[in-house]
Every structure is written in C-alpha cells, then in structure tokens.
C-alpha cells in the first residue's frame, strides 16, 4: 500500500482519532532545531511517529518525531515535532503525508516553521521572516500523479498560498511585542548540499529572500487541501555570494535555539489574534 493512498490516510487517521482528546483547529510544524514548544503548550497526548501507521520517521537527529496534541492559549493545536525532508530520500508524497493527516483530523490553519539561509543581504542571523510567497526549485511536486478529487483540485491556484490575513496578524503581533519581523520570498531547493556562490547569486537574482530545503511541498499540499497557511523562517545564516562561509548544522541549530523565545513570543501574539 502506498503511504499516500486513501487507505493509508484512512488507517492513520482512524488510529489517531482513537487516541486524541479533541479535534484540532490549528496545525504547527516545528522545523530544524525547534524540536518542541516545551512548557508553552499544555500537552494532552504525545504520539511517537513510529507508532502511527505509514507516518514518515525522520532520519535527521535534529528532528525528534512526535505528534503532539495540546492546548496553546486556549487553541486546540496539533504539533509536528520534526518533519522529514526530500533530501532524506522520501518522496514528496511521503514528506507531505502528515499534512493530509492533519487535514483529515480537522485543521483549517497551518503554521509552518523552518530554519533558512538568508539571501537578502540586509537580514541578520537569528531574525524571523514571515513568508509572503515561494519558489519551488525542488524539481518535483507532491501533487504529481493521479489527483484525488476528494482531496483537492487537479490544478490548485497558488496565487495566494500564504494567507494575507494571517500575515497581517503576525505583523501586528510583532509590532505589539517589539519583535523584528522580516517579510520575504522563500525558495526551496532539494539539498542536501548547500548552495554554491553562483547558485546563491542566482537565487537572489530570481527574487528569493531566504533559501531552505523544506516547507514548499507542505504548503502546496496544504493549499490543495484548502488549509490557510502561515510560514515563518528563522534566518539561521546569511549567505553572501562573495563571502560565502560554511553553514554547519550545529551552527544552524545554535542560532535557532537562540531565536526560539522570539518565535514563541510571536506565535503567542498571533494566536491571540486568531
């Protein structure tokens, strides 16, 4: 059975529905280095990915792998603690299976976070960026193949993939809480190799402000499924073509850990407005 088949979706959803205490309204995906929201969320149920039928399990150490159901500021949320990536060898259907599951469980809003490399030379490491649009350079699409009309349209419009109202709420929260918030276009590359100076120059030239190896397939499936999306990047490093330096994973994680309180603060302000 294929992990993205209707039967797999049905089995995983039925398994979770037997375990969960409520119907979540909002999904949250935690990116590299964020691993959990810790004390901020009143956890009701936490389910290791390994226990969920057909759920993809991350091979990257920085992504732990629990599906958490809890209350955050009175909102019933489901949190993906860690995700899988295309560069790990998964298909984009596998990568986005958790989005289909969260949709089947009832979410209508999805907050996607990631660690990204900054391409706008005005950015600084540790800053937050709200994603306004994206460019898919992965060279693949999670919707490739037969379309299940019950899940969404064959040719979903991507003209407003990142919900303007959710972006506005995030900007309002940032202003209220004194958090520096950048805005920009995220470009997804397949990875796992990082960009060359020429690629960095190219990505900037085509209009990207940040680069990473996730998020875009998840957004495509969320839009296909009729979910409103908010995308937030933690700028882990800033890539300047002339002075490009290594961006080792430990460095990325260290910056993300430092930026996490700001991200949590921003999300709390966002949830207040939801």
Q: Does 104 sit near ligand HPA (CB under 6 A)?
A: no
CB of 182 to ligand HPA, least distance (A): 15
Tokens 């990257």 belong to which residue?
A: 60
Nearest approach in angstroms of CB 212 to ligand HPA is: 4
Query: Is beta strand 228-238 parallel, antiparallel or unpaired with respect to 128-136?
Result: antiparallel
Q: How far is the CB of 239 from ligand HPA (least distance, A)?
A: 5
- Rounded Cα distance, 263 and 112, in Å: 12
With tokens 């907050």, the residue in question is 111
Count residues binding ligand HPA (CB under 6 A): 13
Which CB sits closer to ligand HPA, 26 or 237? 237
Q: Smallest distance from the beta carbon of 157 to ligand HPA, in angstroms?
A: 27
Among 65, 98, 117, 152, binds ligand HPA (CB under 6 A): 117
Q: Decide whether 146 or 205 has the Cβ nearer to ligand HPA.
A: 205
DSSP string, 45-109: EEEEGGGSTT-----STT---EEEEEEETTEEEEEEES---GGGT--HHHHTHHHHHHHHHT--E
**Closer by beta carbon to ligand HPA, 16 or else 125:** 125
Does 247 interact with ligand HPA (rule: CB under 6 A)? yes
Kindly report the three-state secondary structure assignment for every residue of 40-51: HCEEEEEEEHHH
The C-alpha atoms of residue 274 and residue 271 are separated, in whole angstroms, by 5
Query: Bridge-partner residues for 62, per DSSP?
Result: none
Residues 202-221 that bind ligand HPA (CB under 6 A): 211-213
Per CB under 6 A, the segment of 42-50, 122-130, 146-154, 234-242 that binds ligand HPA is: 234-242
Q: In angstroms, give the least distance from the CB of 237 to ligand HPA.
A: 5
Residue from 76, 94, 133, 195 binding ligand HPA (CB under 6 A): 195
Interacting span for ligand HPA (CB under 6 A) from 4-12, 76-84, 125-133, 231-239: 231-239
Could you give the maximum distance between any two Cα atoms of the chain, in Å?
Answer: 55
The two tokens of residue 173 are 């929260």
**Contact stretch for ligand HPA (CB under 6 A) within 54-62, 111-119, 125-133, 175-183:** 111-119
Beta strands, E only, the chain: 26-30, 42-48, 66-72, 75-81, 109-118, 128-136, 181-188, 210-212, 228-238
Residues forming contacts to ligand HPA in the complex (CB under 6 A) are: 115-117, 194-195, 211-213, 236-237, 239, 247, 252
């Amino acid at each position: 059975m294929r992990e993205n088949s209707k039967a797999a979706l049905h089995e995983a959803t039925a398994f979770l529905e037997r375990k969960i205490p409520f119907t979540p309204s909002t999904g949250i995906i935690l990116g590299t280095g964020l691993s959990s929201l810790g004390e901020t969320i009143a956890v009701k149920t936490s389910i290791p990915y390994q226990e969920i039928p057909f759920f993809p399990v991350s091979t990257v150490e920085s992504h732990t792998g629990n599906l958490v159901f809890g209350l955050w500021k009175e909102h019933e949320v489901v949190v993906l603690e860690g995700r899988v990536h295309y560069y790990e060898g998964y298909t984009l259907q596998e990568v986005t299976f958790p989005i289909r599951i969260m949709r089947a469980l009832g979410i209508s809003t999805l907050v996607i976070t990631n660690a990204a490399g900054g391409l706008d030379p005005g950015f600084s490491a540790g800053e937050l960026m709200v994603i306004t649009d994206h460019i898919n350079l992965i060279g693949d699409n999670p919707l490739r193949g037969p379309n299940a009309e019950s899940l969404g349209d064959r040719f979903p419009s991507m003209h407003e993939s990142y919900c303007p109202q959710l972006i506005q709420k995030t900007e309002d929260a940032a202003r209220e809480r004194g958090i520096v918030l950048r805005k920009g276009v995220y470009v997804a590359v397949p990875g796992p190799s990082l960009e060359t100076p020429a690629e960095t120059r190219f990505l900037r030239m085509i209009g990207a402000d940040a680069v990473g190896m996730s998020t875009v397939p998840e957004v495509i499936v969320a839009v296909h499924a009729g979910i409103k999306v908010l995308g937030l990047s933690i700028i882990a490093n800033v890539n300047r073509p002339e002075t490009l330096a290594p961006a080792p994973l430990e460095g990325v994680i260290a910056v993300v850990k430092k930026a996490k309180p700001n991200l949590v603060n921003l999300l709390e302000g966002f949830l207040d407005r939801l």
